């Protein structure tokens, strides 16, 4: 069953085409990776899907419903949530309160918000720090808090944007395990990451963007042996951190 679909998505910023006629579909419970060089259009595509920006052309469907042009808040209430490359928790709130914001205001009203917040923190291994504030957390723990805030909304589809970015090997492995656990719960995961080892290890399929266009889809093995993908991306130094533009810059 298709849960997330984009049809002919295009985003122009003046004379710059950031996303060019991209179509895709993701099945319920599937984990899909999205890769490509800096500036390929990855984060712009996520912004179109999550309602941060409206496409110049094209349509986004969630569970068969047209969600194009809806606000991020409305889309979240329909069961799709996105995390961000740069984590911005509420610094003056505890971890429980941070997760509780998602449960109370972003969730789909399924169960007690505080209970969902606790469950989300426990899932990412932070419930023992529920009454502490984000300034006491490491970078890896902040990333896990970001995941907890997303999970507290009780989503069906999660978009992870560079969730492993800036982490050391141990922290990356923890995030990979978390994503696997989320997928095991039947959630649909769509993720961007420049940490190829992490992305390829959790993805069932991989989409490749280059110059704003979707140039390949396939299993991780198929993508890693695709000559066009190697020339466009995998042959370059893929470990560089990905940019995320305000507007039409590198993403």
pLDDT at 240: 42
Token digits of residue 117? 């917040």
Pairing type for strands 57-62 and 2-13 reads: antiparallel
3-state SS string for 40-85:
CCHHHHHHHHHCCCCCCEEEEEECCEECCCCCHHHHHHCCEEECCC
With cut-offs at 50, 70 and 90, classify the pLDDT of residue 112. confident
Euclidean distance between CA atoms 49 and 83, whole angstroms? 12
Cβ contact 50:82 at 8 Å: yes
**pLDDT value at position 244?**
37
Burial (CB count within 10 angstroms: exposed 0-12, middle 13-18, buried 19+), residue 110: exposed
Mean pLDDT of 59-81: 96
- Identify which of 169, 153, 165 has the alpha carbon closest to the alpha carbon of residue 86: 165
Considering the four listed CATH numbers 3.40.50.300, 1.10.1740.10, 3.90.1150.10, 3.60.110.10, the one that applies to the domain covering 1-73+189-237 is 3.40.50.300
For residue 85, is pLDDT > 80? yes
Two tokens, residue 79: 């069961």
pLDDT band at residue 110 under the 50/70/90 scheme: low
Q: What's the distance, CA 74 to chain centroid?
A: 17
- Of 188, 202, 117, nearest to 151 by C-alpha is 117
Task: Tell me how far apart the alpha carbons of residues 107 and 102 are, in angstroms, rounded to a whole number.
Answer: 6
What are 195-215's pLDDT values in tens digits? 898 999 999 999 999 999 999
Q: Give the domain ranges of the chain.
A: 1-73+189-237
Q: Helix axis angle, 139-151 relative to 169-184, nearest 10°?
A: 10
Dist. CA 103–CA 112, nearest whole Å: 8
pTM: 0.90
């Amino acid at each position: 069953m298709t849960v997330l679909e984009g049809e002919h998505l295009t985003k122009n910023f003046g004379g710059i085409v950031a996303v060019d006629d991209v179509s895709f579909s993701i099945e319920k419970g599937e984990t899909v990776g999205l890769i490509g060089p800096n500036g390929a259009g990855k984060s712009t595509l996520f912004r179109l899907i999550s309602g941060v920006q409206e496409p110049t052309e094209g349509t986004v469907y969630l569970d068969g419903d047209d969600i194009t042009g809806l606000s991020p808040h409305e889309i979240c209430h329909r069961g799709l949530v996105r995390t961000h490359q740069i984590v911005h928790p509420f610094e003056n709130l505890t971890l429980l309160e941070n997760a509780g914001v998602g449960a109370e205001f972003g969730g789909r009203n399924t169960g007690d918000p505080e209970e969902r917040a606790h469950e989300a923190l426990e899932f990412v291994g932070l419930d023992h720090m529920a009454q502490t504030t984000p300034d006491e957390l490491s970078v890896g723990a902040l990333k896990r808090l970001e995941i907890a805030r997303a999970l507290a909304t009780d989503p069906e589809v999660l978009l992870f944007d560079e969730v492993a970015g800036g982490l050391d090997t141990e922290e990356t492995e923890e995030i990979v395990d978390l994503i696997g656990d989320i997928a095991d719960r039947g959630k649909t995961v769509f993720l961007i990451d420049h940490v190829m080892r992490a992305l390829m290890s959790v993805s069932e399929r991989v989409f490749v963007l280059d110059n704003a266009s979707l140039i390949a889809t396939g299993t991780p093995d198929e993508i890693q042996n695709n000559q066009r993908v190697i020339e466009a991306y995998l042959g370059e130094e893929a470990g560089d951190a990905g940019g995320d533009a305000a507007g039409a810059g590198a993403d």
